[in-house]
Amino acid sequence: MTIFLIALIIAFLCHLLPGRGKAEACFVVVAGRDASSTGRVLVGHNEDNRGELIMRHHYVKPREGKETLLSFEEGSAPVPAVWPALGFFWTETLRPAPGEPFGDSFVNERGVAVVSNTCCKSREDAPDLTDGGIGWGLRRIVAERAHSARDAVRIASDLVLTHGYRGSGRSYAFADAREAWIFQAVNGKHFAAARVPDDHVLVNPNHYSIRNMRLGSPDEFLASPGLIEYAIKRGWYVPARPGHYSDFDFAEAYQHPDYVMAPINEARHSFGLAIAAGVKIDLSARGARPPFSVRPLEPLSIKGVRDTLSCHCERPDDFNFDGPDGSGEWRTCPHDGGGILPDENRRDAYTRICNGSNRESLIADLHENSDDTVIWSCFGNPCILPMTPFHLGARAIPEHFAGHGPSELTQETEELTRLHFSATSEDVKASECEAWRLSRKLVGWCDEDYSRRIAAIADKTADLRRKIAESEEEEMDGKLEPGRARTSEMFLLKASEQAGLFVEAMRDLIGEV
């Protein structure tokens, strides 16, 4: 056999293996302030990607810049700069050039969170784009400028109407402590936005979810001009009564028919609603459609968000034996094969919320005083990894979680942005932090024999979660001298203690296994 033929076979086999190649299939959970056990908005998000990449964290300080135009990924529109820019926490997906144009999450110094999911494929095949349109820049500009969730919607709307959206379709969650909005963009200059009711919980995998819209209620719904008329023109929507649009369904009109309630979304949406809200809806029936949001049976806690993000959407035939509660030993690792970006060949794949492409799981506990905002995060599957809290008031990333680039670039915004789209494989490797390496090692070890190994480490990971939670519940003010105000140094000290707990425990655990 020739060397060339051997190389071809190896390449083909690698293509078949799960976890190879770039993919996305993110998931979001949002609880309105009256549906949350904290009395504030909660946002949970799984960042799902594959291929050569790392996740890393930054805190970018507020700044005044000199640029008049901001540039992002190659081919995208330059955007006029607005200064000063707000500071923000940034969780970055760093991969070799040309980079990741549709990943990354942010929480800015005003306590505004930005996360997103792909919406698979919209119907739009003739997008109106100006100078290439905007992609990654939308989330970044919102993070730099938005003072509230509603302000984020206004900024995103202006960007899409001015430049057009580059992606086929995407759903953004913009949230602050008091309210959350879902902004769903279509390739080109169309969008819909809906406010999550204060007493509701929302979950969404990878499809449009905004349905019937009362466009005369701008405090609840917003849309691009001509959204309905354009759908009628393209034949995507036919009013039941000519001239009356009360039956307009944005998701039904703008989602590509091949992806309306596709299997890659059906299980995740129904299981997500059941866990986060206690509401069971059968989405397998023909014509069934999920609601935009639901009123939960009881308020959703941070643990409830984590449980939702950890869900494997279990089926009876996943196990070696069936019990009355569906329990048993997994036949294969639940993370195998899940989370693949649905394309023409994969949209019928059964996909789990916690799957093999999870690269970060994040929960934002948003506070009115943004310094008190806590971002809980782990670098991979939350069913395995404990989450570590980061305090926005620290204005920095603890040492074990701070990745370093080729020039120790952890704060210089322009250099970080440049590297995001021009990194080499060597740059990516050099940017790994210790927490990332330890997390990925433990996930890889567990996935080799999931049922036995997750049970083997359950007590130790539960103990680590308990220690971190106890550390978080300690009143920081009790450690301060009377009359001394909390400072970023105090927040960073607390975050560093918790990061140290995590890394020390992970070192010990990996050493044992």
DSSP class of residue 318 equals G
Give a yes or no: residue 149 inside a domain: yes
DSSP-based three-state secondary structure for 252? helix
Other Cβ atoms less than 10 A from the Cβ of 491: the count is 21
Question: How much is the pLDDT for 321?
Answer: 63
Instruction: List the beta bridge partners of residue 148.
Output: none
Other Cβ atoms less than 10 A from the Cβ of 215: the count is 14
pTM of the model: 0.91
Q: Which residues contact 346 (CB under 8 A, 6 or more apart)?
A: 264, 340
Give a yes or no: residue 488 inside a domain: no
Question: How much is the pLDDT for 208?
Answer: 97
Give a yes or no: residue 481 inside a domain: no
Question: How much is the pLDDT for 221?
Answer: 97
* CA atoms within 13 Å, Cβ hemisphere of 3: 0
Give a yes or no: residue 460 inside a domain: no
Tally of domains in the chain: 1
Residues in the chain: 513
Question: How much is the pLDDT for 65?
Answer: 85
Q: Sheet harboring 88-94: ordered strands across?
A: 54-60, 88-94, 105-108, 113-118, 165-175, 180-188, 190-195, 221-223
Give a yes or no: residue 471 inside a domain: no
Does residue 118 contact residue 25 with C-beta atoms inside 8 Å?
Answer: yes
Give a yes or no: residue 396 inside a domain: yes
For position 377, which CATH number holds?
3.60.60.10
Question: How much is the pLDDT for 438?
Answer: 97
- Give the relative orientation of helices 488-512 and 458-473 as an angle to the nearest 10 degrees: 170
Q: How far apart are CA 459 and CA 465, in angstroms?
A: 10
Question: How much is the pLDDT for 399?
Answer: 87
Tens of pLDDT along the chain (513 residues)? Answer: 444 443 333 333 333 333 333 445 799 999 999 999 999 999 999 999 999 999 999 999 999 988 899 999 999 999 999 999 999 999 999 999 999 999 999 999 999 999 999 998 999 999 999 999 999 999 999 999 999 999 999 999 999 999 999 999 999 999 999 999 999 999 999 999 999 999 999 999 999 999 999 888 999 999 999 999 999 999 999 999 999 999 999 999 999 998 888 888 988 999 999 999 999 988 877 788 999 999 999 999 999 999 999 999 998 888 876 544 555 789 889 998 654 444 444 556 788 999 999 999 999 999 999 999 999 999 999 999 999 999 999 999 998 998 765 434 445 678 899 999 999 999 999 999 999 999 999 999 999 999 999 999 999 999 999 999 888 876 544 444 444 457 888 888 888 999 999 999 999 999 987
Measured CA distances, 312 to 215, 272, 353, 380, 432 (Å) = 37, 10, 6, 14, 28
Give a yes or no: residue 361 inside a domain: yes
Domain holding 46, by residue range, is 3-448
Question: How much is the pLDDT for 404?
Answer: 60
